[in-house]
Amino acid sequence: MDTPQMTVRQAERTATSRPRAVRGRGPADPRGSSWSGPAAARVTIVSGSVGAGHDGVARELAARLRAGGIEVTVLDHLAFLPRAAQHVLRDGYTATVNRVPALFDWIFQRLEDSRLMLGASDLLCRVAGRRLGAALAGADVVVSTYPLASRSLGQLVDRGRLDVPTVTYLTDPAPHRTWVHPSVDLHLTVTAATAAVGRRQYGVAMAAAGPLVPPAFSSPVRRLQRQRLRNELGLAPTDIGVLLSSGSLGLGELGAAAEEVRASGAIPIVLCGSNTALRARLTGDGVTALGWRDDVPALMGACDVLVHNAGGLSLTEALAAGLPAVTYAPIPGHGRANAKVLDDAGLAPWARDRHQLGMLIQQAAERRRVPLPAPAVPAAEAIGQLAWAECERRIPSGTLLTGEAV
């Protein structure tokens, strides 16, 4: 099992073991009791408000770190960009995926293999970095959960404007060049499969650190609760309930996928997220279409299979819950890249046509639920260790909150 490893530059700057507790300090163990005060370790998380996945991971990481006594600030990378660039990244993503998928796929591939395209993207990251650098002052560790934020952090390190440990937590199963920067100290992934692909493809050390989703996903749903929810969803005891997800924006050909799930003999339950038009279009005709839900852990407990097309946060939640997953009709770009990594690793088979979809749904429904194995060092613990170690360096051992030595 992969264990997060620090680079030589980072190892010279911070201790690799969890620091001891000292007078006037928070708990040495980042999972310990709550603490707040001037001497608490400080972590800044830079997310990206494109969809809900990056922000969802940032919120969960922040909650875990705060529970361990660490002060956390969460920033939106897009807020440091010009308004026009914010619009292109946020709204252009939805428009191209749904209306011009070939263009989105072309952009995704060119960012991977074209120095010109990556250079243009990096220029945008440098623009964000001009203001972002000042906002990171005072942090003991800076974490990115969004690819362009990772590039900005690496650039700031290269220019000498950021001299604390930096971490990227990849929310996608498939690494991409925009996620990776050689000057970022630590690249963490959800699964060992992603870490292996990243190391092989980019020559950058990556380590599996497990999913950052609420604990409810890894808690078994009680039998009576499961039965009640299945009744509400119109699922008979012998029905195969298939939860269809395409992220918070409801991207891709969900309508066609729902029809093909129904044709296979299973019952489609579609998570439409914030896409109210999609929900209105799919409601009825043998399809249960749901809007934004706060009980997704229970829904995953009530259903038998997840069918997804993006490989984002919903897929990570299913891995944490042990809900068998199948990829079908993945969206262009990262959706197809994620599908390949998941298929190659045996984490979620990729159905290439409707016949395969029906077969794989049946096989998945017959499988026992097996959650992802716990990593050697979970992401929040690894980041917490770095934060307390950097805090120890910043405030010498034995120093009171007033600065008086004892």
Interval 330-366: pLDDT, tens: 999 999 999 999 999 999 999 999 999 999 999 999 9
Q: What percent of the chain has pLDDT over 90?
A: 69
pLDDT for 396: 65
Query: DSSP 3-state assignment of 64?
Result: helix
Fold of 218-365: Rossmann fold (3.40.50)
pLDDT at 254: 82
Between 33 and 161, the higher pLDDT residue: 161
What is the predicted pLDDT for the residue at 97? Answer: 77
Give the SS3 label for residue 73: strand
Cα separation, 214 vs 252, whole angstroms: 26
* Domain extent listing, the chain: 8-210+375-394, 218-365
Whether residue 400 is predicted with pLDDT greater than 70 in this model: the reply is: no
* Distance between CA atoms of residues 356 and 352, nearest Å: 6
Torsion angle of the four alpha carbons 61, 66, 68, 71, in this order, in degrees rounded to the nearest 10: 110
User: Is 45 within 8 Å of 76 (Cβ atoms)?
Assistant: no
- From CA 384, how far away is CA 69, in angstroms rounded? 9
SS3 content of the chain, % helix, strand, coil (to 5): 45, 15, 40
What type of residue is 163?
Answer: D
Residue 272's pLDDT band, with cuts at 50, 70 and 90, is confident
pLDDT at 404 over 70: no
Indicate the angle between helix axes 254-263 and 354-365, nearest 10 degrees.
70
More confident residue, 29 or 208: 208
* pLDDT tens per residue across span 36-70: 445 789 999 999 998 788 999 999 999 999 999 99
Q: CA separation (Å) from 173 to 25, 64, 186, 246?
A: 37, 22, 17, 15
Residue with the bigger pLDDT between 186 and 280: it is 186
Query: Which residues lie closer than 8 Å to 218 by C-beta, 6 or more apart?
Result: 320, 321, 371
Listed in sequence order, the DSSP H helices in 247-286 are: 254-263, 276-282
**pLDDT at position 305 over 90:** yes
Query: CB count, 10 Å around CB of 196?
Result: 18
Q: Are 262 and 234 in contact (CB under 8 A)?
A: no
Distance between CA atoms of residues 185 and 5, nearest Å: 9
Instruction: Report the alpha-carbon distance of residue 236 to residue 244 in Å, rounded.
Output: 18
Q: Check if the beta carbon of residue 259 is closer than 8 Å to that of residue 328.
A: no
Residue range 165-214, pLDDT digits in tens: 999 999 999 999 999 999 999 999 999 999 999 999 999 999 999 999 99
Q: How many residues appear in the chain?
A: 406
**Cα 241 from Cα 323, distance rounded (Å):** 12
Is residue 399 within 8 A of residue 24, CB to CB? The reply is yes
CB 166 within 8 A of CB 44: no
Q: What's the burial of 32, exposed, middle or buried (CB within 10 Å: 0-12/13-18/19+)? A: middle
Q: How confident is the model at residue 250 (pLDDT cuts 50, 70, 90)?
A: low
Measured between alpha carbons, how far is 1 from 257 in angstroms, rounded to an integer?
36
In this structure, whether the domain defined by 8-210+375-394 belongs to CATH 3.10.590 is answered with no
Average pLDDT over residues 320-339: 95
Average pLDDT over residues 122-135: 96
In angstroms, the CA 25 to CA 187 distance is: 28
**Which has the higher per-residue pLDDT, 293 or 31?**
293
The answer to whether 8-210+375-394 and 218-365 have equal CATH topology is: yes
